[in-house]
Structure 1
Amino acid sequence: MDFYIAHRLPGRVRLRYERNLLVPAQATVVQTLVSMQEGIDSVTVNPVSGSILIEYSGIEENRALAFVRALNDSYLEDKELLVQVGAVEVRESLFQSISVLLLRFLVKKILPLPIPLRAIMSFFTIAPRVQKGINALCAGKPFCADTLDASALALSFFSGNLNTANTIAMFLNMGDILEDYTRRKSYENLTQSFLNTQETVQLLKDGNESSVSISVLQTGDIVIVRSNSVIPADGTVVSGEAAVNQAAMTGESLPVQKTAGSSVFASTIVEEGELHIQIKACGRETRVSKIASMIDRMQSLKAASQIRSERTADKLVFYNFLLAGLTYAFTRDFIKASSTLLVDYSCAMKLSAPVCVLAAMKSCADAGITVKGGKFLEDFARADTIVFDKTGTLTESSPKVKRIIPFGGKTEREILKIAACLEEHFPHSLARAVVKEASERGINHREEHTKVSYILAHGLVSTLKKDALRIGSAHFIFDDEKIPKTPEVERAEAELAQTGCSQLYLAINDSLAGIIAVEDPVRAEAKEVVQELYALGVKDIIMLTGDGPETARTIAGKAGIRTYEAQALPDTKAEFIKKLKKEGRTVVMIGDGINDSPALSAADVGIAMAQASSIASETADILLPADGLRSLPLLRIIAQNLIKRIQVNNGVIIGVNSALIAGELTGVLSSTAAAFLHNGSTIAVGMSAMRPMDTV
């Protein structure tokens, strides 16, 4: 590819090429292929201006340029590749947009045109904004920024101040450009935090392996994914064997074996082995690409502070008009009256609040936290009650059989064999622990029982050689199934309760055959996180668990939680959340399992752990990263800072613009100066709102 160097700095070079050389889709190919090369930090291609900006590090300039020179027709004329990548979205730069605006304004100002022609040009300059004001008026919104701008421009024009009208229009247009840039930049920053467009993958083509960008993958391509690598797109395994961690998609904590013919999903991880995968859904079709549409949806879930700011902004417009009317009534000066309409509070407030929300969500995204709307951040900031599920949330979700206590002459081996035979049909964490323990002890549990019946959130029922089998919680065995509890069983329960282990009870016919104690360690960070949340203003932290009271008390103590609810079932968890809300509390529910979904949905804010089940992740309003609970205090800080920043910015906006109005009325400031300072302060507040939210 032919080009010349237009400008260079250390680590940065701008190239120029003949604009007709590349169509937009080819520009995308250049941008994509060069950006994935080692040592290249970023590449921006603008097919309108024929410009390529390359930023690099760790390599020489000549090597960076060689990547561009290597792009011959085999890449640029590959029709399948061109169709797949689409075209670079071309936007004028901020400098170009403002330069064109100022140039047009200056040309109109210095041209020696007759006054009638100047009036016509001025009319067409202000007409679009006047029309917007008329539309707002017809829509029943007399007090908004559009009617305010239209009134100021119309008064200036019809009073004969064409220069003032043109200048005001120019400043308003400049303000629009800057506001649009600020919003777009905030949105793009958030998107980039979620989507890493520089990721590469190993592509197998014609027996040769090469590294390519994920963005150029096509349906039918075969990629190689090895140990500790992320599967880049949905597909089917054509060869190889590997253990795949699907926790991000299905919530399964244990790796799943994948062989030829198995389906795999984007964002799951190959823990051990190697797979050759044929892509069946890539780009916008993959599950991971839902992030982009999620960002669009999340902006519709506004924080209450944002909504209040927008409503306040519109209400303040009324006082602008009132002040203009009073000014004219006392001065009979149209110019002075119209000048009070040039400075408003609406634009800055309506810019600052959503940018603050985007900045907060970006700070969350940078920490690996996915927030589905600003509303949930604000609700989390003012939450006074946080409810934790126990298993998989406060605990490690890696349960292990700690002890087996047999009764009635049974042996540990017999109890474990029967339990594993039943529990292999039900993939919850305790069941997996039982099956795994049986496997480690070399116990083969060939199916000899009849059909297994699962009693939701209680236990399993079956028969074996005419013996009735029941396995499940204490509530299921003793309360529902009426199995008698002997003094021997009570002593065993009291002993196990001190360990914090969960218990599975196995009954054969009308007597208890054994207790299996399963230990799921409390997360190392749980107690510290709970203490930090208390320090950040959370008044009550509650643990919900299906375990008995003694076990619940032990686990809650280890986690530093003062309040707990034992023997909680999925439906009672949701009812418990609703009860707290009826008491006037703002409630956050944190969980990870399918059975937590009703409670997550019932809470003001539902938060799912990183390895939550897919239904819990879909139901939740906020998704935590792999470090789990450790991110909760940071999330609280970001959420609280969001509210503070919106409030502080609103105070600054009201103060600055009130001062500008006072300056106009007293004659200290001209209308043009006030309009300039008003737009300048609006952008300053907007840029301030973009600052990271994890600091004050």
Structure 2
Amino acid sequence: MDFYIAHRLPGRVRLRYDRKSLVPAQAALVQTLVSLQDGIDSVTVNPVSGSILIEYTDITENQAIAYVKALDDSYLENKELLVHVGVSEVQESLLQSLLFLCIEFFIKKLFPLPLRKFLSIFAIAPRIKKGINAVLSGMPFCAATLDATALALSYASGNFNTANTIAMFLNMGDVLEDYTRRKSYDNLAQSFLNTQETVQIVQNGNESSVSVSMLKTGDTIVVRANSVIPADGTVVSGEATVNQAAMTGESLPVQKNAGDSVFASTIVEEGELYICIKACGRETRVSKIASMIDRMQSLKAASQIRSERTADKLVFYNFLLAGLTYAFTRDFVKASFTLLVDYSCAMKLSAPVCVLAAMKNCAQMGITVKGGKFLEDFARADTIVFDKTGTLTESSPKVKRIVAFGGKTEREVLKIAACLEEHFPHSLARAVVKEAAERGINHREEHTKVSYILAHGLVSTLKKDELRIGSAHFIFDDEKIPKTPEVERVISELGQSGCSQLYLAINNELAGIIAIEDPVRAEAMDVIKDLYALGVANIIMLTGDGPETARTIAHKTGILSYEAQALPDTKADFIKKLKKQGRRVVMIGDGINDSPALSAADVGIAMAQASAIASETADILLPADGLHSLPFLRLIAMNLIERIQTNNDIIIGVNSALIAGELSGLLSSSSAALLHNASTVAVGMSAMRPLV
């Protein structure tokens, strides 16, 4: 691009370019691309003045300028890049919009009366049409009919100036409300979009970091272990295992090699891939964010719905007041202006903006809320049910102790257990397999086919011996393996340690117990204490472990109630039972077996590392920092309800005062209408404030 140096200082240079040569989106693209380069501290591009201000360190001025010179048409005319720089639509500033309305209003006053009368028809016709449509659709008492009636009364009485004034006030109100709503919507979208995320792009054999938002079709990137694939593409070279659960629901990683397709938001678990980008930006992440916010908006909080219904009900009283005003004053103008000071607009603006502000607060903390409804349900919940493994615990289990019976050794018990459990992708199973590997035990398969009994255990045979491994319920209750006094003593001892137990039986005799420790999350006790303080009356832990282990973990976390030996189907039944008792229930879990309970609860909350099905089923997703965000989520939700109610009280109080002032003669009709619009926007802007 063409430019010249307007001013320079050490570490700082200002460039000038022909402002007509770049549209605002291109100017934003220049700012984004240059800011990503090494040595650049900040870049500010002003498309109005045609100025580029660059601040840099550890590079020369020529190097800084070279970054701008490199931006030829292959970048500046690239439509895919331009879509994702935040200027997809250029919108006038709020001041410009309001100024234009005022200028248009006063220019019309200079026209001859016949022309003003003619122009007034065009000014009021759209709103009158909207009011008529509202009546025909069965909604006679709404903001549209208020506006249409006020304009029609003014025009019918010959007060064309009044009609134009009312139209201007209404247009100003629309501009202000649209700005407030758009601002809060954009803030929420920006909270979800991580603009700092970078990826390694390969050019001429060299790697460099670029913003994910700057990727374009045809680029080659390299993605290594534990990294998210940022866009859809085809593997050029390399090999890796990719977790596609977020896209396809597959529980196990998939091997990817040259020629295979990969998808945005999937994760490289091991290896590295060189990927040629096929679809990015709008086709992937941005579209997901937009559709997610649209879904959020469709799930309204009950307080928001009540506000909207209350607003519509109050419209009737506006009409009644206008009728009484005309009956006593015989003044069409005063009656029409009375209709302008209503409660509907402010209430219908404030409530959704409050919800958007709450969601933005959550998004900034890494919490994804799938609808305002779930925030309110969480605020009103009196019961929270926690799954144990992976929720209250770290989900990093490790074998702590092995107890062998019947002449078996620890090594023999572990070898058989690992040979069976390697077929079962559960955290406890992984702990057993890992322990065998660390002890150098080679567990070559010699058993027959393994049968998995859901939520109970595994069954197989080895050299005519029948093998069973699983929970205490499975081994002792279902399979009727006898307990000796020694076994009962060991079970009691291990239960007091808080360890989970796997029981291995050979034929009809217990061969060993494997005690597996899963550390309680460091923050669990503080979080439970905070939730009790925030008004949660009942906190319950559900676990598949036995009563002794459940009691120990509950004590460590400060939970007063627990349910032991819970199966996936009984977890869901337990939630339904609580709801039948009249409780508002929140379920928090992370595993596939928690999904039925998450779905049955009033609000289902999934941990950050939850299974794909649990994340899909849940209404709220927590961030990677574990349980820390739960008290903040509760506080945000409670403050949301309080703010909606407070704003409604303010709206009713202020607008009632304006109507009283107008009727008493303390305020002119135009002043009351102006103050009404100003108060509506003030409430809307206040609703945008953070809730914590």
- Would the TM-score normalized by the shorter structure come out above 0.5? yes
Counterpart CA distance in 1 for 2:142 and 2:16 is 46
Matches within 5 A, 1:104-143: 104-109=104-109, 111=110, 113-143=111-141
Once the two structures are TM-superposed, the CA of residue 45 in structure 1 deviates from its matched residue by 7.6
* Identical columns (%): 79
Once the two structures are TM-superposed, the CA of residue 211 in structure 1 deviates from its matched residue by 3.1
2:413 aligns with one of 408, 412, 415: 415
Matches within 5 A, 1:549-568: 549-568=547-566
Once the two structures are TM-superposed, the CA of residue 235 in structure 1 deviates from its matched residue by 5.0
**Counterpart for residue 569 of structure 1:** 567
Say if 1:52 and 1:576 are closer, same or farther in 2 by CA, change over 3 A.
Answer: farther
Counterpart CA distance in 1 for 2:65 and 2:327 is 69
Q: Per-residue CA shift, 1:315-343, capped at 9, x if unaligned?
A: 00100001111222223222222221110
8 A Cα contact 2:28 2:45, kept in partner? no
Counterpart CA distance in 2 for 1:6 and 1:359 is 42
Once the two structures are TM-superposed, the CA of residue 50 in structure 1 deviates from its matched residue by 8.5
Residue 201, structure 1, aligned to residue 228, structure 2: no
Counterpart CA distance in 1 for 2:336 and 2:499 is 75
**Counterpart for residue 92 of structure 1:** 92
Question: Which residue identity does 1:510 align to in structure 2?
Answer: N
Number of aligned residue pairs = 689
**Counterpart for residue 534 of structure 2:** 536
**Counterpart for residue 213 of structure 1:** 211
**Counterpart for residue 282 of structure 1:** 280
**Counterpart for residue 446 of structure 2:** 448
- Equivalent residue of 1:401, what SS? strand
Matches within 5 A, 1:590-601: 590-601=588-599
TM-score for both structures, normalised by structure 2:
0.91
Once the two structures are TM-superposed, the CA of residue 98 in structure 1 deviates from its matched residue by 1.8
Matches within 5 A, 1:79-478: 88-109=88-109, 111=110, 113-225=111-223, 230-235=228-233, 238-239=236-237, 266-267=264-265, 275-279=273-277, 281-286=279-284, 290-478=288-476
1:489 aligns with one of 487, 498, 513: 487
Once the two structures are TM-superposed, the CA of residue 77 in structure 1 deviates from its matched residue by 5.3
Question: Which residue identity does 1:372 align to in structure 2?
Answer: K
- Equivalent residue of 2:588, what SS? strand
Counterpart CA distance in 2 for 1:366 and 1:198 is 14
1:664 aligns with one of 649, 662, 665: 662
Once the two structures are TM-superposed, the CA of residue 418 in structure 1 deviates from its matched residue by 0.8
8 A Cα contact 1:267 1:288, kept in partner? no
Say if 1:344 and 1:58 are closer, same or farther in 2 by CA, change over 3 A.
Answer: farther
- Equivalent residue of 2:30, what SS? helix
Counterpart CA distance in 2 for 1:501 and 1:512 is 18
8 A Cα contact 1:544 1:565, kept in partner? yes
Counterpart CA distance in 1 for 2:628 and 2:79 is 48
Say if 1:140 and 1:251 are closer, same or farther in 2 by CA, change over 3 A.
Answer: closer
Counterpart CA distance in 2 for 1:508 and 1:376 is 49
Question: Which residue identity does 1:677 align to in structure 2?
Answer: L
Counterpart CA distance in 1 for 2:60 and 2:117 is 54
Once the two structures are TM-superposed, the CA of residue 36 in structure 1 deviates from its matched residue by 3.0
Q: CA RMSD in A?
A: 3.4
Counterpart CA distance in 2 for 1:86 and 1:655 is 39
8 A Cα contact 2:30 2:45, kept in partner? no
Counterpart CA distance in 1 for 2:506 and 2:646 is 67
Counterpart CA distance in 2 for 1:674 and 1:61 is 60
Counterpart CA distance in 1 for 2:104 and 2:58 is 43
Matches within 5 A, 1:508-657: 508-657=506-655
Once the two structures are TM-superposed, the CA of residue 2 in structure 1 deviates from its matched residue by 3.2
8 A Cα contact 2:80 2:281, kept in partner? no
Question: Which residue identity does 2:520 align to in structure 1?
Answer: V
Say if 1:362 and 1:52 are closer, same or farther in 2 by CA, change over 3 A.
Answer: farther
Counterpart CA distance in 1 for 2:347 and 2:60 is 45
1:674 aligns with one of 651, 672, 675: 672
- Equivalent residue of 2:415, what SS? helix
Say if 1:462 and 1:557 are closer, same or farther in 2 by CA, change over 3 A.
Answer: same
Say if 1:18 and 1:274 are closer, same or farther in 2 by CA, change over 3 A.
Answer: same
Counterpart CA distance in 2 for 1:102 and 1:5 is 40
Counterpart CA distance in 1 for 2:393 and 2:681 is 47
8 A Cα contact 2:3 2:15, kept in partner? no
Counterpart CA distance in 2 for 1:99 and 1:53 is 28
Once the two structures are TM-superposed, the CA of residue 64 in structure 1 deviates from its matched residue by 7.2
Deviates more, 1:634-643 or 1:58-67: 58-67
Q: Per-residue CA shift, 1:247-287, capped at 9, x if unaligned?
A: 98899999999877887664566688755344455324447
Question: Which residue identity does 1:352 align to in structure 2?
Answer: S
Q: Per-residue CA shift, 1:24-50, capped at 9, x if unaligned?
A: 87566435423534546576786xx78
8 A Cα contact 1:35 1:198, kept in partner? no
**Counterpart for residue 17 of structure 1:** 18
- Equivalent residue of 1:341, what SS? helix
Q: Which runs of 5+ in 2 are unaligned?
A: none
Say if 1:81 and 1:310 are closer, same or farther in 2 by CA, change over 3 A.
Answer: closer
Counterpart CA distance in 2 for 1:405 and 1:252 is 36
Deviates more, 1:628-637 or 1:237-246: 237-246
Say if 1:634 and 1:84 are closer, same or farther in 2 by CA, change over 3 A.
Answer: closer
8 A Cα contact 1:251 1:612, kept in partner? no
8 A Cα contact 1:324 1:340, kept in partner? yes
Once the two structures are TM-superposed, the CA of residue 94 in structure 1 deviates from its matched residue by 1.9
Counterpart CA distance in 1 for 2:531 and 2:366 is 19
Say if 1:665 and 1:561 are closer, same or farther in 2 by CA, change over 3 A.
Answer: same
8 A Cα contact 1:250 1:614, kept in partner? no
Counterpart CA distance in 2 for 1:149 and 1:528 is 54
8 A Cα contact 1:125 1:166, kept in partner? yes
Say if 1:116 and 1:65 are closer, same or farther in 2 by CA, change over 3 A.
Answer: farther
8 A Cα contact 1:148 1:317, kept in partner? yes
8 A Cα contact 1:35 1:41, kept in partner? yes
Once the two structures are TM-superposed, the CA of residue 139 in structure 1 deviates from its matched residue by 0.8
8 A Cα contact 2:162 2:333, kept in partner? no
- Equivalent residue of 2:202, what SS? strand
8 A Cα contact 2:502 2:513, kept in partner? yes
- Equivalent residue of 2:298, what SS? coil
8 A Cα contact 1:299 1:374, kept in partner? yes
